[in-house]
Structure 1
């Protein structure tokens, strides 16, 4: 039996039969063009090195091998981006590394888009990110998967103000709106956008973790459906999707209270800053965290689900841990509770969040 180099893909098994080539871009145990764990690892290595050319070769190689746009963007780019987020959250990657990797994936999405020729024969949909939401890569992936499924898609970009969305709907009359929300703290704004679309008679398909695990909060703010992935968005658009009749805002427990809490956002930020007295170089960061906390509290009251604030607090505690000082979050919750004693739902939700943090491993 001929000896071969250890990395020779044609090396033989001990019985003399040829060993199969290791899976690579466009090649794997699931067939041509399928995304394997090995391909994802190779792509992540490209992101780690911010190697745009190599990352693009992997993505376009999958297309050349017969993979679909959804295969490449959902199973490769989106999966890798979740890992990028975890590496930043755990402190393994800096913000600069995360930004560089995200930029590479954004360019890869553009390269995949350039290789497709959509038919635009199924209708017109508009995609927007919730106002205040600046994470647009996931939305961009949805754009291309839905476009590849035969829809004409107008992407309005990140952080779209409600009034501009409404104006555009009246000007263009799309068949549906796809609304992306990554952070649950933006759920109140998402609800306002959904309500505006309902008033215009346009159904909304919601997407993103901001609508909760399994999209449980999407219907609470009036969306007609929710999809976990870009594939789900294309599937939902293909079926009957009717805009709920406009009957005014969706009723909720403590409706007036969540509005009152939002009006106190600036005061609460200042109260917390005085209490925790962060270093000068962290004032802006801590102020931003408090503002998001108040938004998450308002959203929790709006949909009457204490789990929203609990999960937000746990996530934010992990972020603060990575930057030393998770105990700051408990101080924030305590100060907000003391300042909102006239709002019983707010106080109860803040108490639950503090209790959940106290039992956090």
Structure 2
């Protein structure tokens, strides 16, 4: 055991742990976490003050184009193994009821909810972790089979909010209270409140909320009366048409786009689809800030990869022209354009 792994200073251990992730050193990362546990650091602190912030930094390095997708996946796998090792070391015994933890259908960021699951386990709950992308029907079937005290659902991407809402309502129809978390509900949980569901900003808060059944069931009703005008449903129906027409205009106005490789074409279609999906989610919750935050993020991601921010303007303008009769979508698109750097417009 090295001096680094024997330290109880998580600040000191953090840089070493990141180095292990950068070097794809699974054994070194695991040794470091176990060394902290041997030195008396509580398992919950190792998970929340070492693994969680390191994984957030992994995501930032990918966003800044400092790490490839392969490096990000390798680092995530190592952190998953470390979480398993910490859980095996702690061996908590359940004293409470069953809590089911799962990712929303279509959500593949499974490590954050896994950390929540392990914190709940450390605090005495009998936890079933269902992992990434759980279809709503399968989750409800599971809840019918097992008597769950609560279900904790994670959503990392706001574009999944309409699906999240359907999943939340399906759980409630099974009379199982729901708590949600993840960046997909907004940094302050504002979109969880719009959907009328209890929200926790982190794992300890989720544990406290789940232990307080009155608070868990006391979320205010959803505020979605605006959906009666059918704008969201109409926008979703036009998704394929919007992507196709935006791609056609891109090829017409940007000659280089006609020579895209298959990989470049796939990436472009994916980006065009994400723009529509985030726009639809903003319409669903009636909050244009959801879309503007995405546009700013997308512009930053593309910029880190050498793609000028102006590349985002063309599809936004195309969608604005196509959706001029969609008031909430048109407003979000206008604000999205305004959120881009002045040099891009």
Once the two structures are superposed, the pairs formed by residues 29-48 of structure 1 within 5 Å of their partners are 33-36=8-11, 38-48=12-22
Partner of 1:100: 74
Larger Rg: 1
Judging by fraction of residues, say which structure has more helix. Answer: 2
Structure 1 unmatched runs, 5+: 1-22, 28-32
The separation in 2 between residues aligned to 1:25 and 1:220, in whole angstroms, is 44
1:270-281 equivalence runs, <5 A: 270-277=244-251, 278=257, 279-280=260-261, 281=263
Q: Distance in 2 between matches of 1:133 and 1:351?
A: 28
Which residue among 308, 311, 317 is the counterpart of 2:293?
Answer: 311
Q: How far apart are 1:244 and its partner, in Å?
A: 5.7
| Alignment check: 8 A CA contact 2:193 2:220 kept | no
Distance 2:6 2:284 in 1: 46
Aligned in 2, Cα 1:209/1:359: closer, same or farther, shift over 3 Å? farther
Give 3-state SS (helix, strand or coil) of 1:218's partner: helix
Aligned counterparts of 1:62 and 1:233: Cα–Cα separation in 2: 25
1:85 is matched with 59
Identify if the C-alpha distance between structure 1 residues 50 and 215 changes in structure 2 by more than 3 Å, giving closer, same or farther. same
TM-score, structure 2 as length reference: 0.90
Residues 236-245 or 212-221, more deviating: 236-245
2:176 match: 202
- Greater mean deviation of Cα atoms: 76-85 or 291-300: 291-300
Once the two structures are TM-superposed, the CA of residue 74 in structure 1 deviates from its matched residue by 1.0
TM-score under structure 1 normalisation? Answer: 0.86
**How far apart are residue 351 of structure 1 and its match?**
0.7
Q: What is the root-mean-square deviation in Å for CA atoms of aligned residues?
A: 2.1
Residue of structure 1 equivalent to 2:327: 344
Aligned CA distance change for structure 1 residues 42 and 139 (closer, same or farther; 3 Å): same
Partner of 1:11: none
Aligned residues: 332
Q: What SS is found at the alignment partner of 1:175?
A: strand
Q: List per-residue Cα deviations over 1:5-31 (Å, max 9, x = no partner).
A: xxxxxxxxxxxxxxxxxx84453xxxx
For residue 275 of structure 1, report the CA deviation from its aligned partner: 2.0
Could you list the structure 1 runs, at least 4 aligned residues long, displaced by more than 3 angstroms after superposition.
23-26, 241-247, 358-361
CA distance in 2, matches of 1:110, 1:321: 36
Query: Which string of whole-angstrom CA distances, capped at 9 and with x for unpartnered residues, describes residues 142-162 of structure 1?
Result: 111111111111111111111
Judged with a 3 Å threshold, the aligned counterparts in structure 2 of structure 1 residues 244 and 258 are, in CA distance, closer, same or farther, namely farther
Q: Distance in 2 between matches of 1:307 and 1:360?
A: 21
Moved more, 61-70 or 277-286: 277-286
Using the TM superposition, give the Cα deviation of residue 40 of structure 1 relative to its aligned residue in structure 2, in angstroms. Answer: 0.7
